Amino acid sequence: MRFAVRLAVIAIALGGALPCFAQSAALPVRDTATIVAEPSATVTTAVHVVNRGTTALRFIPAIALPAEWSSPIGGAPFTLAAGETDSWLVGIRIPARAPAGRYVIALTAKDAAGAIVVSDSVAILVSARRELDVALVDRPTYAVSGTRYHTTFLVRNRGNVPSTFALSAMSDKGGKVDLTSPSVSLGAGESKSLDVAVTTTVKGAEAHDDVLELTVRDLGDTTVTQIASSRVTIVQRANAAEPMHRVASQLRLRAADKSAGVSPYEFIGNGALRDGGAEQLSFVFRGSPGQSSQFGDQDEYRVELKGSNYSARVGDGYYRMSELTNNGQAGFGAGMSVQQGALGAGAFSQRFRFQQDSPTENGAFVSARGEGLFGAPQFVVSGLTRTGGVYEGKVLSTSAAVKPMGNAVVELELAGSSSAKGSGAANMVRVSGGDTLRYDIGHTMGSDNFAGNVRGAQHDYMSVSLLGANDVRYSLNGSLHHSAGVTLGYVAPQDFRTFSVGADYRTALAVQLSSVSRSTTFGTQVNHESQNGFLTRSEQNIGNLHFWGGVGAGLTTSDLESRRVYHELSLGVSTTSGANTYSLFGETSDGMTVTRGSAHLATLGGDARIKLMPSTYLTLNGFGTRVLTTGERYSQLDAGLTQQLPSGSTVSLKVRLAGANGAPGRQVAFVEYATPVQMPVGRTRSVGRVRGRVVDQETGRGVAGTLVRLGPQAAITDDDGRVAFAGLPAGEYRLTIAQQKSQVAQVFSGDNTVLVDSMHHEPTTFNLAVHRAGAIDGSVRVMAIARTGIGTAPDSLADAGAMREITVALIGVRDTLYAESDANGTFRFGEVAGGVYTLRVLTESVTGTRWEPSETEVSVAPGATRAVTFRQVPRRRTVQMMSGEVITTPPRQQQKQQQ
């Protein structure tokens, strides 16, 4: 034993920590290849462990992960018998918003006594990703011609690097647009609301849809551009007509050679399916770019409709039901889910057309939730069948989620599968929540035969962050990931361990200390790597210049070379001059073979957007990289010349030039035409005039600023509540009204039908009275005899419970409304106009019973709620004593006998 300890100490001193010492040892062979990964990716590595001791040894793993990182597999303790060999597989899942840079993740394992017997690290270079989202947050329903209205958009930096975004907006009706600032700077994952003021003037009596388009471009990469739009109905104050509802969309047509690798067309749209409705329609139609694309284009065809309690999709997309049943691939198919109260259900069917042999998948789920119970628990049972592919088989999953306190969430899922490989199982546990102190702790594991993307993997992680004073956030993270490469078939067994501690102050300054270890097994060889160091990043504005940069250093060890010091440095600057923007950046690294792949790299790049003429722009974006140790060089330049047309469309010439070691590579050029498209439902016009007035029923005064819709047209009342329509086709219409922003439910009284006769020269007139809506709450109960009265005394009745599925009619002057009692015997008529109504039970009473009352008159005042109760009671029977027998005489026969 003493000899083994001495041997371990000598090995550490010579070239790094061995994976095991004291009771175990391992062959020190390491792969020094850099792991370069994109955000949202999962990487795996393995630590090859050999127990060369004479007794069994239990390993307790720990993976030190950065904030929000996770490790699906690799955190479960394991035991090796004397002389036994095994691979500790570690998987590390990089969050989608992980900042770009180099991360060193420590992997450690202790024995039962707490002594570290395995110590390693893995270094991951997270590639920079620039991405943004722009979404419409709020807009008015309508605006009066010539008046100013405000629209709010939300801009979110979905990339993993801080970025400055240029803003521009335009109205398709030529309205005057006012932006508070020409640009906005956002940190990685940060979002900000933008207010855009618009003044649009239209002529004539017809209403017009003013489409405001906000264009946001990343100054760090001008190819990252998003456009969001809002539609506001512009009407005249006293007379207007509105076209049918439209869905805002964008059409792009590209002219290029077939080998260019760009989609020939792209048609994308998103918006409300109908004005004022909850349904949202979105669609994407993007043509195939061919065999490959330098621009990352991928053909996609999808239509999706979402309502308040349902969603449906047809085409390409991610159809999934839970974490464990998901196979992690996009497919082409159809799916739908419905939520009705506490119950939900859904199903989907898809084919993976981008995978070999096009595997298929069919699944369904049911769910139930208890909003009124402690923790608001939710339960889901799902199942699916896959045919073909790596994960062929059948999977059944049960999951539960509960919120025990505050915003804490506890999630649990258990899944089992059957396939040609045999039976498999997987489980997932996660606890997350917190505000000032945030925490996320999880565990995921899948057996070697499980028919899902967690097959042969185990991941345990912990992430804790604390928001201190002055907006300083402290973070502590750790993870352990194990991947059984043999079961995956294309990745060597790997184990990852990470640990990091850091602090950041907004986007101005961030400091992080990290440790990463990784072991990968290739056959009988085990490669070990570790990296420990620090990284600091900063971002500052000085005058009109925006600076950013970072510096890092640390120590790298591996089985193939001695310890060495590494360092990295990155700097960047950007500025805006009028409508022009410029940026320049550079970075260099030395000794970072674990994360960079090459010992000494240097990169220099920049981009610009230059306004050549009032409607002509030139965009440039390029970089050059050189491996200083070998002299290899790589370069790329993207250039675009865009002409904006008066209609709002654009015509662009785009070019990409790439090269390596001084020789030109693949050159691509194409022309793109982009135009906003408004998809109308359709409209009809004809002769016809209507005049009317909207008044307050309580005061009798005209209500100004009320939007009145009549058939295909809309208009806003003037100061006296008057409104006029013209050009209506002949027919019968129903009037509807709406306020621009209403916080109180309102209804109107009076005849809301308008008959337009195009043969008459005189306008049709109407009058509407607006008042606060009332309501009627009712209940239906069944009564039973508690005690029979003596002689002519009445029986004593007791409430015997609620009656469900009883139909009740609310009969008014204009309409008859219907409601049905629920399981609690209650029903409700909401938004009832003031007036007198007849409330009648339509369901027949059970034989021997009657309704008390069967109908009643109800008077509803504006804003008031009336309560009504219907009871089903036993009928009182008359009996006659004859020869000791009791004979029941029906009431009608009694009358005949008396006559």
Determine contact, residues 565/553, Cβ cutoff 8 Å: yes
pTM of the model: 0.50
> Residues 501-534: pLDDT tens digits?
999 998 789 999 988 888 887 777 778 888 888 9
- What average pLDDT score do residues 605-626 get? 94
In the 8-state DSSP scheme, what is residue 579? T
Q: Quick check: helix, strand or coil at residue 420?
A: coil
- The set of residues, in sequence order, having a beta carbon less than 8 Å from that of 354 and lying 6+ positions away, is 329, 330
In the numeric block, which tokens belong to residue 442?
């999880």
Could you give the percent of the chain with pLDDT greater than 70?
Answer: 85
The token pair at 889 is 């005489």
Distance CA 483, CA 87 (A): 9
What tens digit of pLDDT does each residue of 636-675 get?
Answer: 999 999 999 988 899 999 999 988 887 777 788 999 999 9
Q: Which of 765, 751, 753 is nearest to 689 (CA)?
A: 765
CA distances to 306, 316, 870, 882, 899 from 347, in Å: 15, 15, 41, 68, 69
| Residue 496, Cβ density class (10 Å: 0-12 exposed, 13-18 middle, ≥19 buried) | buried
pLDDT by residue (tens digit) across 304-327? 999 889 999 999 988 888 889 988
- Average pLDDT on 385-413 reads 92
Residue that has been written with the tokens 């999808």 in this structure: 302
Decide if 606 contacts 582 (C-beta within 8 A).
yes
Q: Give the rounded percent of residues in the chain with a pLDDT score beyond 90.
A: 32
More confident residue, 895 or 249: 249
Task: Tell me what pLDDT residue 589 has.
Answer: 85
Residues in the chain: 899
Q: Which residues contact 55 (CB under 8 A, 6 or more apart)?
A: 23, 82
Distances (CA, A) of 653 to 643, 674, 675, 680: 9, 12, 15, 30
Q: What pLDDT does residue 311 have?
A: 93
Question: What is the residue-wise DSSP string for 424-438?
Answer: EEEEEEEEEE-SSEE
C-alpha distance from residue 9 to each of 5, 464, 663, 877 (Å): 6, 34, 51, 103
Q: Which residues contact 95 (CB under 8 A, 6 or more apart)?
A: 39, 40, 68, 69, 70
| Model pLDDT for residues 717-766, shown as the tens digit of each residue | 888 888 877 777 777 887 777 655 433 445 666 667 888 876 666 778 88
- Give the model's pLDDT for residue 427: 96
108, 517 Cβ separation under 8 angstroms: yes
Instruction: Give the model's pLDDT for residue 738.
Output: 66
Distance CA 29, CA 48 (A): 10
End-to-end CA separation in angstroms for the chain: 119
Which of 222, 245, 226 lies closest to 154, judged by CA?
Answer: 226
pLDDT of residue 414: 96
Q: Are 575 and 560 in contact (CB under 8 A)?
A: no
The answer to whether the Cα torsion of 199, 203, 206, 209 is positive or negative is negative
Strands, E, within 628-752: which ranges?
A: 632-644, 650-660, 663-680, 689-696, 707-710, 713-716, 722-726, 731-738, 746-749
| Residue 9: pLDDT over 70 | no
Q: Give tens-digit pLDDT for 422-472.
A: 999 999 999 999 989 999 999 999 998 899 888 889 999 999 999 988 889
Confidence at 41, pLDDT banded by 50, 70, 90: confident
Least confident of 274-283, 540-549, 638-647: 274-283
Q: Residue 310: its pLDDT value, please? A: 93
Q: What is the pLDDT of residues 838-859, one digit of tens each?
A: 999 988 888 788 899 999 999 8
- pLDDT score of 19 more than 50: no
* Residues 6+ away with beta carbon under 8 Å from 515: 64, 104, 105, 106, 121, 498, 499, 500, 530, 531, 532
Which residues fall within 8 angstroms of residue 474, CB to CB, at 6 or more apart? 465, 466, 468, 501, 502, 503
Cβ count within 10 A of residue 148: 13
pLDDT band at 144 (very low <50, low <70, confident <90, very high): confident
Encode 842-852: b = buried (16+ Cβ within 10 Å), e = exposed: ebebeeebebe
Q: Would you call 750 helix, strand, or coil by DSSP? A: coil
Per the prediction, the chain carries an average pLDDT of 82
Grouping H, G, I as helix, E, B as strand and the rest as coil, residue 738 is strand
Do β-strands 713-716 and 600-613 pair in parallel, antiparallel, or remain unpaired? unpaired
- The amino acid at residue 218 is D
Cα–Cα distance for residue pair 727/717, rounded to 1 Å: 18
Count of helices and strands (H, E) across the chain: 4, 62
Joined together, the tokens standing for residue 457 give 């993997």
Helix, coil or strand: residue 594: helix
* pLDDT score recorded for residue 40: 82
